[in-house]
C-alpha cells in the first residue's frame, strides 16, 4: 500500500531561520511527487512536481529535492508570509490519483 | 486561477438527509477528483473521474456516490449524511500536460459541510 509520511507535524521558525521539511514515501514505482502549500480556509496551492531521484526545483525561498525514499522542502531565510501548511503527495494511479501526507504546519515568527 | 468553483461553500444539514456538492470547471479537463480533509488525516481521495460517465472509487468512498454527465461538472452525493461525514470537501482537476510541463492537480476553494 502506498504511504506518505511527513515530519515534523509542526515547525516554528524565527524569520530568517532556514530549515527543511521531510516527506518519506513508500510506493510501488514513483510516478511523481508533489508539494503543495495550503493557507487556512483555502484549497491547496501547487508548488512543485518531482519525478526522479536527484531532481531539484526552486521557487523563491523554497527548494524541493528528491531521493529514492524521501523528499525535502528546504526553506531558506523564511518570512512570516511563508507560514502555511505544506503538503506532500505521490501519484498512485493511472488516472493521476494522489495519496497525501498529513502535512507540516509551518509558523514563521517575525 | 484554474477555473474551478465549488457550491455550496458552506452547508449545515441533518443526519439522514441527502446532500449534493457540485464542482464546476471552465477548462474542459478530463480528470476530476473529490477529496475530503480532516484534522490528522490530510487529504483523502473519495472518488475520481477520467471522463464523462467514467468514474471510480478512491480510498474513502463508502457512503458517497458521484456523477459526471458533462465534462465541466462533477457531483458528489452523500446518500444519507452521517456525522462522520462532517468535513471539508475539495474538488480538483488535472490539466492536460503540454510539452515540458509538469503534471499536477489544481484544487477548488472547498466546501465546509457540517452534519448535525
What mean pLDDT, rounded, does chain A reach? 94
DSSP character at residue A55: -
Q: What's residue B99's pLDDT?
A: 62
Pairing of strands B111-115, B54-57: unpaired
Residue whose cell numbers read 477555473: B3
| Residue B61 near chain A (CB below 8 Å) | no
The pLDDT confidence band at residue A2, using thresholds 50, 70 and 90, is: confident
Q: What's residue B101's pLDDT?
A: 67
Cis peptide before B70 (omega within 30 of 0): no
Q: How far apart are CA A34 and CA A106, in angstroms?
A: 17
Q: What's residue B102's pLDDT?
A: 74
pLDDT tens digits, one per residue of A79-89: 999 999 999 99
Instruction: Give the residue from B102, B35, B115, B83 showing the smallest Cα distance to A44.
Output: B35
pLDDT tens digits, one per residue of A27-49: 888 889 999 999 999 999 999 99
Q: What's residue A109's pLDDT?
A: 97
Q: How far apart are CA B37 and CA B23, in angstroms?
A: 16
Across the interface, whether the CB atoms of B42 and A95 are under 8 A apart is answered no
What mean pLDDT, rounded, does chain B reach? 93
The pLDDT confidence band at residue A7, using thresholds 50, 70 and 90, is: very high
pLDDT tens digits, one per residue of B52-108: 999 999 999 999 999 999 999 999 999 999 999 999 999 999 987 766 667 889 999
Q: How far apart are CA B100 and CA B10, in angstroms?
A: 38
Q: What's residue B100's pLDDT?
A: 63
Across the interface, whether the CB atoms of A46 and B104 are under 8 A apart is answered yes
Query: Which chain A residue has its CA at the smallest distance from B112's CA?
Result: A41
Phi, psi of B38 (to 5 degrees): -130, 150
- Select the residue of A45, A48, A102 nearest B40 (Cβ to Cβ): A102
Q: What's residue A32's pLDDT?
A: 92
Q: What percent of chain A has pLDDT over 70?
A: 100
- C-alpha count within 13 angstroms, C-beta hemisphere, residue A21: 33
B residues 72-101 closer than 8 Å to A (CB): 90, 92, 94
Does the pLDDT of residue A73 top 70, yes or no? yes
Q: What percent of chain B has pLDDT over 70?
A: 95
Does the pLDDT of residue A26 top 70, yes or no? yes
In sequence order, what are the beta bridge partners of A21? A73
The pLDDT confidence band at residue B2, using thresholds 50, 70 and 90, is: low
The CA-atom distances, in angstroms, between B87 and each of A40, A70, B35, B115 are 14, 29, 10, 9
pLDDT tens digits, one per residue of A87-103: 999 997 777 889 999 99
For residue B59, the chain A residues in CB contact (below 8 A) are 99
Amino acid at each position: 500500500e502506498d504511504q506518505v509520511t511527513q515530519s515534523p507535524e509542526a515547525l516554528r521558525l524565527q524569520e530568517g531561520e532556514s530549515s527543511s521539511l521531510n516527506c518519506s514515501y513508500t510506493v510501488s514505482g514513483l510516478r511523481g511527487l508533489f508539494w503543495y502549500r495550503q493557507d487556512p480556509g483555502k484549497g491547496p496551492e501547487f508548488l512543485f512536481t518531482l519525478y526522479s531521484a536527484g531532481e531539484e526545483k526552486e521557487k523563491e525561498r523554497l527548494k524541493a529535492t528528491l531521493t529514492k525514499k524521501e523528499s525535502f522542502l528546504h526553506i531558506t531565510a523564511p518570512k512570516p508570509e511563508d507560514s502555511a501548511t505544506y503538503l506532500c503527495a505521490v501519484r498512485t494511479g493511472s488516472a493521476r490519483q494522489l495519496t497525501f501526507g498529513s502535512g507540516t504546519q509551518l509558523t514563521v515568527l517575525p | 486561477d484554474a477555473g474551478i468553483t465549488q457550491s455550496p461553500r458552506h452547508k449545515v444539514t441533518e443526519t439522514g438527509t441527502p446532500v449534493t456538492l457540485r464542482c464546476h470547471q471552465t477548462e474542459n479537463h478530463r480528470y476530476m477528483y473529490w477529496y475530503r480533509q480532516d484534522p490528522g488525516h490530510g487529504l483523502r481521495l473519495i472518488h475520481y473521474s477520467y471522463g464523462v460517465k467514467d468514474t471510480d472509487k478512491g480510498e474513502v468512498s463508502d457512503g458517497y456516490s458521484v456523477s459526471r454527465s458533462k465534462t465541466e461538472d462533477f457531483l458528489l452525493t452523500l446518500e444519507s449524511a452521517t456525522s462522520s461525514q462532517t468535513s471539508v470537501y475539495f474538488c480538483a482537476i488535472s490539466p492536460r500536460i503540454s510539452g515540458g510541463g509538469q503534471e499536477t492537480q489544481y484544487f477548488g476553494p472547498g466546501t465546509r459541510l457540517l452534519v448535525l
